[in-house]
Structure 1
Amino acid sequence: MKNFHPYLYPAAGFVCVNLLSFFQNRLLGADAVALMGYVVPSFVGVVTGCVVSACFTWHQKALQEEKEKNDQHSEINTRHEAFLQTFPQGVCTVDGEGVCLQINEAFLQLFDCKSDNVLGKNLFEVIDKEPSHLKKIIQGTPLKHCGEYKLYKLDGCPVKVSVSLYPSPFGTVLTFSEVTLTIFLKSKIDFLHNHEPFCGFLNLAAWKRRVEEAYAKSCTDYDCRNFLFIVDIDRFKIINETVSYAAGDHYLKDFAQFLAFKIGASENICRLGGDEFSFFLLDCSHGEAQSFGQALLQDLNAFETSCQGRVLKCSVSIGGCPISAQLRSFDHVLLGAEAACNFAKESGRSLVRFYDPEQDEYRENHGQMEMVSHIQAALAGDLFFLRGQRIAPIMEGRGQGGMEILVSMRDQSGATISPGAFIPAAETFDLMADIDRWVVQQAITWMEENAEVCASLDFISINLSGKAFNQEDFADFLHSVVVQSALPAEKLCFEITETAAVKSCDKAIDFIHKIKELGCCFALDDFGTGMSSFEYLKNFPVDYIKIDGSFIHGIEHDEISQEIVRSIQRISEKLCVKTIAEHAETKESLVFLQEMRIDYVQGYIIDKPSPLT
């Protein structure tokens, strides 16, 4: 209705005046004088109505604008109050005399008081009971930061706070932060940045920096001898499995404290893994390091603690490695100590061993350590490449045969490194997972780009390492890659070694079943090398058996190998599994293999591996 106000009052004035004039006209008659008495009042009524309407409309608009302005101010005040109350620092607004005008909840908590104790009262009489510069600064100098002061809670207890000052048109705004809490939180953050919380030792990154400093000193000062040790708790999982995981955690914490006590410098210790610790000694000779290692071994083997009414005790194995320029980096030093510790465990456990690249037992490990850097560079620089080798049918009616995809590597100079040189190092130092994924991705990409080659073959096999079964997400990764590819799944055959399959029997069987659901095939590689080959063969749902090359090489002259291959072939026929003979190199061997009814042959007599293009 308010939208019609500009028209309502003029219309009302017009109607009222015209009604009055109408009755006047009836009384006076319809002469000219009477007509003027009718028109003039009408005009006056309209003008009067317009003036009244304009005044009323202006008044209503002014009232509406005032209401909207008040609502905006109310909303701003509400937001300001909400922000003030949630602000983590204590906030207080005072006038020029120090009278408190406004406070927030954090202020009340900091000084342990209620709003009635502070609002409307002089702030300095409440919290600043000793002479200080705070009152003078607030009343005089317009600084933004006052500094740190000892103020007082309502009960008189002192509290050290950092005070900041912000002048405003409505008074002086003060913010208060408890210095004690700030220092504590900063120290806590600094500690967690450099330490792992479970045992309180340096984390790997911080500890590595300390060891690298020692390594750098060893490289410049050849008289300086430092040693890195690794302590591995033998059969620690027995505590977790026979007592409880809580008891295992209790043992680890007590063991860590005892280790720190024996070493005397907790900042030199790092927890590498669940039950593996490492520490370093500075400025000691090889003889001193050996003596210390033996004494520590005896002390740690004698250590015991109790939890849940059970006595907990384990032995340890210790490996040591000199931090010297002979080993090219910190990683090589750590790997050397790891190799020495592993050798101690392999030698019977509860022993101390020191790494020496000149000793026979470490020479192979040293070569693998050198190979690790090449593998890492190949993964980062795309220096791996694929080769293919034909698998031909030897019996009629066995189809078109297949091809095995092999992985090779180049070093940074371009020289080819054979799989036999880098695969053992990759397996030892847990790099096979990355290589497996690279091979699968690249092999499937090549097959998609060479569809005509794939169509001319019955299957193309890809090798998987034994580590694949122990990776929780590798089966999902392989499943996803196969589903997303445009390849017929039945063309894909994945090879797993007999040794790896037997070692992780249940996991291998579950893995094979999951991938075979897509239509893929599986081959059991290097068959015959295991101790229980035939016992496990019936349990693996494979499609092909690749007879190990040690039985095929020189088979024409070895009657024992002939009988072993014949028995493998007979059992494979019963299981409806096809056989592939590896490393066939002579025509004479082909004759024997054909007589034994082997299905496929692979070897230099058929085809030599060549790069896939």
Structure 2
Amino acid sequence: MNVQSIQQAIELEKLRSQVAELERQNKKLSKQIRVNESLYLSILDALPINIFLEDPEGRTIYANKQVCLSNGVSLDKIVGKTIFDYFPLEIAKLNRAYDLEVWKKRQLITREFPSGYKGEEHHMFSGKTIIHIDESDEDFLLGFALEITDRVRAENRLKESEEKFRSLTEQAADSFFLIGTDGMFTEVNPTACEVLNFSKEELLRMSTEMVFSKLPEKIKHLKIDSKEQASSNFEDLMTGKDDTQIPVDINIRLIHIGENQMYFALCRDIRDKKRAEAQIKHMAFHDALTDLPNRWAIQSIIEEHITQKNVPSSILGFILLDLDYFKVVNDSLGHEAGDLLLKEVSKRLQDATDHREVKLARFGGDEFIILIPQLSSEKEITEICDRIMEVMAAPFLIKGQRLNISTSMGISFYPKDGTDLNSLIKNADLAMYGSKELGRSCYSLYHPDMKHHANKRMDLEILLRKALDENEFILYYQPKVNLHTGEINGMEALIRWKNKLDQIILPDAFIPIAEETGLINPIGEWVLREACRQCKEWQDLGFGDLTISVNLSPKQFQRQNLVGMIISVLEETGLSPNSLELEVTEGIVMKNPEEAVIVLQELKQLGIKISIDDFGTGFSSLSYLKFFPIDILKIDRSFIANIERDDADAKITSAVISLAHSLKINVVAEGVENGEQYDFLVNRSCDYAQGNFISKPVDPKEVKSLLVYDEAFIIT
């Protein structure tokens, strides 16, 4: 082997060694490259950011693990595919347009973008750019994306809440204000602008001091540095553009918006509430019919007067006033007419007491109160009473009727006659009752003697009730003679009270009190029952044609079940209705003629005779006689007393007899005291007579004697 060959072999060996070294280094480098690639890929997969590479056609060349996780697919479903393969169509179109914009501008473009897979909505912050890879000599689209779904959803919720809040505040019926810690308005709703009549721009340049009364001070009391929400609720006044005062109910709350503290004020307009409260208060202290102050208003005035430090000589005058015969108006014309009358009376009383210190009030029913504080003398109050009498003198025109209404007044004084409302009313009432006893249409001042008189009346009422319970009442009977035959064919029952001392008390002494207290109904029923029983007893003794007359009082006639009560009494006693004669006065039937006709017709249908007592003394119209089912007219004793001497009385009596007979009504003359009167009545063809000339009222035993021994009692 020559040198050249050896040298070539050595070179070949070196070359092999170098090749082997190069292979080792290449393997080492390849391994390192693979390690680096694996490291880079691991790093890319570990990043919480979507990283992907797309070719110009939009096919995915590379995608890290986060891309698979975000889209819920495996890598083999992404690599080599386009977004149209795994995104919803609309989202895919938006993304492809995004890609084409990046390819066109060849610069980094970022944006928030919707993403999603299988209908799931996601939001991404995405960035895309174009890169060049030398080894492949190609351009690719490199993209990255960070999921911001939670942030977007939170922002959407916040936006939705803000929109709801704005909608609520803008449409709310209450005024809404956001107020800075400096007291300036930072936001207001349309309602606040409308209520205050300011524009939003005007209000946002204003402070709470310019609009609210209490709010600025209330704000100072809230804990500005508190992390907790402090609040306060109160009523305040807002001042509008035209200085209108608007009462509101405010809820003010300290709130935190980020690092800022603000006040949120919600104001409810309570004008309607205040008006309602004022109306309720007015109703509580005023009469609904006349709108005058009522008893409670007067009570407060008196209490105020008492608590004031008045001048020692100052007197408070108290007048209690009621209308005379007001019940007649109610009963005859109806309650509507009564209400109209009360309204007119209240107007006249206001005219009569038109003075700033005089207080007029309606006490109730037809009663009024007049309060006069700061009187220097008692004479001043009588001057007011005189004015009242004067304004009340003119007739009232009510529902086409001219009514003459008078008033009775009672006067008491503070502190002489009472130191509280109840005592002043009580004593004024006693004085008013004194006015009525004097004939009404006048006024009286309270005197302590009136209390004694009232106590006597009260004692009498107690005794009356006891008399009814213990059967102390008795009946006397006055015969009624038939002037055509001279026979006694009827008796009038007349009540008497025989007390424990065997004293006989006449009805004039107790019937008025019985009427006032309502005792007249049980007393009247007892009279009817006893009279019917007694008449039946006489009839059973052989006096079968005998009739009994019983008077009905006004209260009895107004009784709801009068007819039923009479039927019950007749059934109980066994007396025939034909034997009963009921006497009523003109005044009773004329109070309410329409209802009176109905009641009288019911009684007439039963067979009961109806008699008009004291005819000629009332204020009735003779035309009503033809409408009432009347059997008998009783001429009042005031006409009979002087018929033999007074030509006018004689003519009136003759005219009544003639009128009654023309209407086929019998006539009874009462109060016949002598023979001349008796003869006059016989000559004028009067039908019946009764009086002391014939017989005084007698007890049942004497009646029996009259009937037994004078079956043909004839006056000659």
Indicate the structure with greater helix content. Answer: 1
Greater radius of gyration (CA): 2
TM-score using structure 1 length: 0.48
TM-score using structure 2 length: 0.42
